[in-house]
Structure 1
Amino acid sequence: MFVVVISENYARSSWCLDELVEILSSKRKRNQVVPVFYYVNPSDLRHHKGSFGVALEKHKKRHSANRIEKWKLALAEIADLSGYHLEDAEDFVFSIKMNGSEADIVRNIVENVLPQASRKVLHLDTCLFGIDLAVEEIYQQLSMESNDVRALGICGLGGVGKTTAAKAFYNKYSHKFDVSCFLENVKQNSQGGSPLFHLLQQLLTELLRAKDSKVRDVESALRKLREILSSKKALVVLDDLDQSSYSEFLVRICKLFSDGSRMIITARDLNLPNQLKVELSKVNTYMVRHLNEINSLELFSYHAFKKSKPPGKYLALSESFVTYAGGLPLALKMLGSSLCGRTNMSFWKAKFQKLEKMPMNDIQKILQMSYDELEDDTEKAIFLDIVFFFVGKNIDEAVDVFKSCDLFPEAGIPILIERCLLTIDRNNRFQMHNLIQDMGRNIIFEESKHGPCRRLYLNQEEACQALPNLGEMDKIEGLIIDLTMSTNKYCNAEIFERLPNLRLLKLVDVHGIKGNFKTSFRELRCISWHGCPWMHLPSAIHLQKLVFLDMPFSRFETLWKIAELPSLHHLNLDGCIHLKELPESIGHLTKLDHLNVNDCVTLKRLPKPITQLATLSFLDMSGCRNLKLLPQQLGDMKGLQRLDASCTAIEQLPDSIAHLKKLVHLDLSGCEKLRKLPEQFGNMEAYGSGLEQLPDSFSDLLNLVSLHLFNCSQLKRLPEQLGKMQCLSSWGRCISYIN
C-alpha cells in the first residue's frame, strides 16, 4: 500500500512525479494507493492548474513531451482516487475531510489505513463509474451496523457489473471482519466431480489462506467450516452462483456464521436469493443498475480515446454508440476498445451502420463483433477451442496443445485478451465472461448448421445415433460426449474411427468404450476423462501426438504404455487411488513438463528414471501417504520449479535437492515423519510438518523473502545466524516450543 502526500510544491520535483507514475503503475497490479491532499485542491491536479500548472510549464524546458504527458496523466489519475483532504474542495466528493491537529490527522490516517495494508485486495479496472454509489447501497442492504447474520444477492444481466460491485465492496469493507474470502467464478470452477465438495474446498482454502484444505468429504468440510466460522465475524462472497441446487448448502453455511457475519452471492437472476429467503429471514437482493448516459459516455470514451470525453468531431457518433449499448458496461468497454486508435470517420460511421442492422437487445451480437474482427483464422480457432474446451483450465496446458496444432498461441492469446474476449485469473487459468462464452457457443452451433462441423457436443443417446447422420465427419476436431443424463453410460469405439482429425476429446460420465481401437486418435492432442475405468492404456490405442492426458480419479493400476506418448507435456493422475507404480519407461517422456499424482494413496515410490526428466517443471505428489522415499538423484531434474510433497510419508530429503537451482516452491506441509532438512537448501513451506530443527546453513539464504513454519510443533530451535537474512519480510507464526 502506498500513502502519497501531495503538497503545493509537489509537482516542482521531477523525482516525485516519476515516483508517482511508478506508484500508479503498481496500483494497476493490485497495490493500493491512498492520496493525502495537503492543502491542495484535487481539481488543480486534475486540470493542471495553480502551482501544478506552473510547475509543469517549467518542466517543459528540461524534459520530453512524452515524460510530461505521463506526469499529467498520473496527476489526473490520483486526483480521482479516494483519500484524505486537509482543505475543502467543492468538486472533491470522494475524500474524507480531516479536522484537528496534524498529529491527530496523521494518527487517524494510520489507524484507517493499517488494517487495509495486510488484507487481500481484489483487482478492479482503473476506470469505474457509479461504483461508489453501488457500494454504499450494498452497505445499506446488508445493514452493516447490525449484529445479526445477513445475506445479500447481487443480481442483474451478465456484463452489468455484479462482480465489480461485489469486489469494490469487499475491498472497502473486508477489513471490518475477522475472516473474509472472495470466490470468483464459482459456477465455472466447481464443474466436474462433486461441485459442492469442490466449492467447500475452495472456501476452506481461502479462509485458511492455505494451499489445500485437506478434507475428505462434504461433512468433514462443514465441520472444519464450523470451527472457523462459529467464533469469528466473517464475510464470504461467492461470485457467479446461479444453481438453485446450492440453496440448501448456503443456508447451512449461514447457520454456521457467528454474529455480525455477512454472505454475498452474485447471480444473473433472482432465483437463488429468493430460495434463500424461504429458509433465512434476513436475505435481501440488490439489482445492479445500468450506467446512466453521462457515466456511459465517460466509460466508452475512456476505452475509445483514453480520456473522459470524446473529441468534438466524435461526440455525436460516440453518443450513438453509447445509446446502442444501453448502459451495459461490458458492451461499452468492448465497443470502445474496438474503436480505439481508429481515426477515420468513415470507419466509425460504417461500424455504427453495422450495429443498426442488429437487434437492439441482442447483446451477443455486440460481443461477436470483437470475434468477427479478429484478423487471423488461428486467433478465431484458439478462441473457439477455449470456449469449447479450456475455460477454467491452466493456460500452460492449453498453450502446449495450441503449439502442437500450429496455432501460435503466444501471438493469438494476447490479441484475445486485448479484445476483451478472454482474461487470465490469478491462478493462471482462462476465464471468460458468461456472455462471451455464450456467444462463442452460438458461433460453434451456427458453424455446425451452415458448414462443416468442427466442434461437436453430444449427450444422451446422441452419442450413438447422431454421428452417422453428420456429413464431412473428417472435419470434426473437437468432441465432448456427456452421458450425465443418459441411462446408457457406454459409447462405441466405432465413433472415433470416423473422426480421423480429432484433436480435443472430453468424456463426461462415460463408464466405458465398447469395441477395439484401430486407427483412432492419431491426431489427438488432448483427452480429458475423469473417472476412466481402464486399468491400463489399451494396447491398440495410438496417441503419439498427445500433449495433455487428463484422467484424474481413474482406475489405472499401471501405465506401462506411457513411453509410447512421446509428445506428452502434461499428465494428470490426481486421485488415482489404484495406481501402484509409475513405469520405469516414464524416463522416456522427454517433453513432460507437468506431472500430478496428487492423492495416489497406493503409490509407494517414484521410479529412478523419473530423474531423467530434465524438462519437468512441476511435480505434485501431495497426499501420497504411502510414499516414503524420493529418488536420491532428484537433483538431476534441473528444470524443476515447483515440488509439492505435502502429506506424504517421507522421512528425509535427498541431499541432491540442493542442486535444484530453479526450484522456487517446495511444500512439505503435513510431512509428520520428516525430522530434518539437508544442509544445503532453498525456499520452503512447512505447514504442520514434523521438523525438529533447521540446518545452520539455512541462514545463508540471504535472498529468502518468505518463510512459513505454521504449526511445526516439534521445532525446537532456529539457526543462530537467522538475523543475517535481511530480505526476510514475511515470517509465519510458528506454534512450537522454540527456545
Structure 2
Amino acid sequence: MPILSRNYASSKWCLVELTKMVTMASKSDSTKEILPIYLHVNSDDIKLKTPLYHDAFVQHERNFGADQVKVWRDALMEVEEIKRWSLKTYIGYGKLIKEIVQEVLIKLNARYKNVTEHLVEDHVQIDAIMKLLEVDYSGVRFVGVHGIGGIGKTTLAKVIYNKLYSRFDRYSFLENVQEISRRSDGIIYLQKQLLSSILHSTCSNSIFVRDNDQGIGMIKKALCDKKILIVLDDVEKKEQLKKLVGKSDWFENGSRVIITTRNMSVLTDRTERLEVDAVPNRHEGILTYEVKEMRFSQALQLFCRHSFRRDFPTEDYNILSRQIILILGSCLWLSRVLLLRSLINIGDDNKFSMHDQVRDLGRHIVYEENCRFPGKRSGASEEIEAPSRAIMVKVMVVAIPSLMKNYRDYGV
C-alpha cells in the first residue's frame, strides 16, 4: 500500500520499494494486490507531466543512470493505472481512513477463516501439525487431523490455514464435507467450490461440471502447475478424498492438503511412514495427527474468558472455577469413553442422546444421595475438593449437550 506523497519521487528507497511491490504483484498470479494512496498529488504528477515528480526523476538519472531510472519510471506508470484513493476527493483524513480499512478488511476476509472470539490457541498442537506440514519442504504433503467430535479439529485447521495461506499461490477451505456430500449433487458442488477457489472465480455457479469424473479431470488440470493449500474439513469417506484431492501426483511441488475427520479409517490405508517414494519429493500417504483434549490451564483460561472476560479467575471465584474445570474435565473423559462405547451420541445437529441405562444410572445415584428430596440436590459445595460421583453424573446428563457444542465451537 504505497502512499504517494509530494516528496515520494525524490526518495530512492521509496522507488526501490515500489518496484519490488510491482514485481511481487506481477508474479503472484493475482494473489497480491497494490492499493495506492495519493496524498496531495494527482494523476498528472505521477505521469511526470508536472515538475513535482519530473524534476526528481531528472536528478535520479544524473545520480543512478538512465537504465535504473527507467525501471523506477515503469513501476510508477503501472501503479498509476491502478484504482486508488486520493485525499483530494475526501474532506479530511477520517472518511478516507475508514474507507481504506473497510476495503482492506473485505479483501482479507475473502481469504481469512473466522474463528471464535474467545479462542485459546494450543500452541503445542499447532506446532506439532505445522511440523508435519513442513511448509519449507519442496514436496507434496497430505496431513490428516483426527479426533472425536467437538475436540477442536476444525478450529485447529482454521488457525493453521490463516497462518499459512499467504505462502501459497492458491488456497481453498472446504467446510462440512461430510454434510454436503450427503446431498444428491454434493460431490459436484464441492468440486465446483474447490475449482472456484483455485481459478479465482467469483462464483462457483459459473463453473460447469457435468459429473464427478469431469470434475476430477478439471481439478487435476487446475492443481498441476500451482503451489496450493487445501483444507478438507470433516471428511467421512475415502471416496470424498479421491474425488476432491486424489493423489499427490495431482499437485505441484510445495502443495499441502489438510484433512480433518472423526473417522480414522479415512486416513489409515495411506498413512505415510516417510519412506522414499517412487516419485521424488512426493508422499503418496497421509501423515496423521490425533488432536488431544485441552490441558487444565487452557480449559481454565477458556472458562474465565467466557465467565469473567479475562484470562484468569477473580480471587473470590478462584477455587470454585478450578473445581468446575476438574468436574467438567472428568465428565469429558467419561463422555469420550461413553461415545466410544456408543452409550451416548452427539449428532451433527448437536442433538444429544444417551442409552437408557446411562440415564437410569444418573437418576439412581442422585436419588441415592438424597432420597427424600432428590430434586433439591445442591451439587458441589466449597468444601468439596474432588467431584463426587453424583455431581459428575449430573453434569454429564445435564451439561454435556451444551458443553460439547461449545467445546466444538471454541476448543483448540
Distance 1:138 1:191, change over 3 A: same
Q: Which runs of 4+ in 1 moved over 6 A?
A: 352-355
> Structure 2: how far apart are the matches of 1:183 and 1:369?
26
Q: Is the 8 A contact 2:195 2:219 kept in 1?
A: yes
Structure 2's unaligned 5+ residue stretches are 2-103, 278-282, 336-349, 351-377
Q: What's the CA shift string for 1:75-112, capped at 9, x where partnerless?
A: xxxxxxxxxxxxxxxxxxxxxxxxxxxxxxxxxxxxxx
The equivalent residue for 2:5 is none
The equivalent residue for 1:236 is 230
Q: What's the CA shift string for 1:333-390, capped at 9, x where partnerless?
A: x9xxxxxxxxxxx79759x889725188x6x75333679xxxxxxxxxxxxxxxxxxx
Q: Is the 8 A contact 2:172 2:229 kept in 1?
A: yes
Question: How many Å apart are 1:169 and its aligned residue?
Answer: 0.6
Q: Is the 8 A contact 1:119 1:175 kept in 2?
A: no
The equivalent residue for 2:190 is 199
Distance 1:349 1:253, change over 3 A: farther
In the TM superposition, 1:419-458 aligns within 5 A as none
Q: Is the 8 A contact 1:239 1:267 kept in 2?
A: yes
> Could you say what secondary structure the match of 1:281 adopts?
coil
Question: How many Å apart are 1:145 and its aligned residue?
Answer: 1.4
The equivalent residue for 1:218 is 212
Distance 1:321 1:137, change over 3 A: same
> Structure 1: how far apart are the matches of 2:190 and 2:214?
13
The equivalent residue for 2:400 is 367
Q: What's the CA shift string for 1:672-726, capped at 9, x where partnerless?
A: xxxxxxxxxxxxxxxxxxxxxxxxxxxxxxxxxxxxxxxxxxxxxxxxxxxxxxx
Distance 1:355 1:168, change over 3 A: farther
Name the aligned partner's letter for residue 127 of structure 1: H
2:319 to 293, 316, 321: 316
2:178 to 172, 184, 187: 187
Question: How many Å apart are 1:155 and its aligned residue?
Answer: 1.0
**Greater length-normalized contact order (CA 8 Å, ≥ 6 residues apart):** 2
Give the TM-score, by structure 2 length: 0.52
Q: Is the 8 A contact 2:174 2:193 kept in 1?
A: yes
Residue 165 of structure 1 pairs with residue 156 of structure 2: yes
Give the TM-score, by structure 1 length: 0.30
Question: How many Å apart are 1:291 and its aligned residue?
Answer: 1.5
Using the aligned pairs only, state the percent identity: 28
Q: Is the 8 A contact 1:179 1:232 kept in 2?
A: yes
> Could you say what secondary structure the match of 2:219 adopts?
helix
Q: What's the CA shift string for 1:279-333, capped at 9, x where partnerless?
A: 953421111121211111111111122111122232222212212332969x9xx
Name the aligned partner's letter for residue 147 of structure 2: G
Q: What's the CA shift string for 1:386-409, capped at 9, x where partnerless?
A: xxxxxxxxxxxxxxxxxxxxxxxx
Q: Is the 8 A contact 2:271 2:285 kept in 1?
A: yes
The equivalent residue for 2:305 is 302
The equivalent residue for 1:145 is 136
In the TM superposition, 1:24-173 aligns within 5 A as 117=108, 120-173=111-164
Distance 1:370 1:135, change over 3 A: closer
Q: What's the CA shift string for 1:514-558, capped at 9, x where partnerless?
A: xxxxxxxxxxxxxxxxxxxxxxxxxxxxxxxxxxxxxxxxxxxxx
Distance 1:160 1:309, change over 3 A: same
> Could you say what secondary structure the match of 2:196 adopts?
helix
Q: Is the 8 A contact 2:140 2:248 kept in 1?
A: yes
Name the aligned partner's letter for residue 325 of structure 1: L
**Number of positions where the alignment pairs a residue of Structure 1 with one of Structure 2:** 247
Name the aligned partner's letter for residue 266 of structure 1: T
Q: What's the CA shift string for 1:456-504, capped at 9, x where partnerless?
A: xxxxxxxxxxxxxxxxxxxxxxxxxxxxxxxxxxxxxxxxxxxxxxxxx
> Structure 2: how far apart are the matches of 1:420 and 1:131?
16
1:293 to 271, 292, 296: 296
Residue 356 of structure 1 pairs with residue 383 of structure 2: no
> Structure 2: how far apart are the matches of 1:131 and 1:271?
25
> Structure 1: how far apart are the matches of 2:243 and 2:175?
18
> Structure 2: how far apart are the matches of 1:359 and 1:244?
39
Distance 1:284 1:370, change over 3 A: closer
Question: How many Å apart are 1:194 and its aligned residue?
Answer: 4.1
Distance 1:246 1:355, change over 3 A: farther
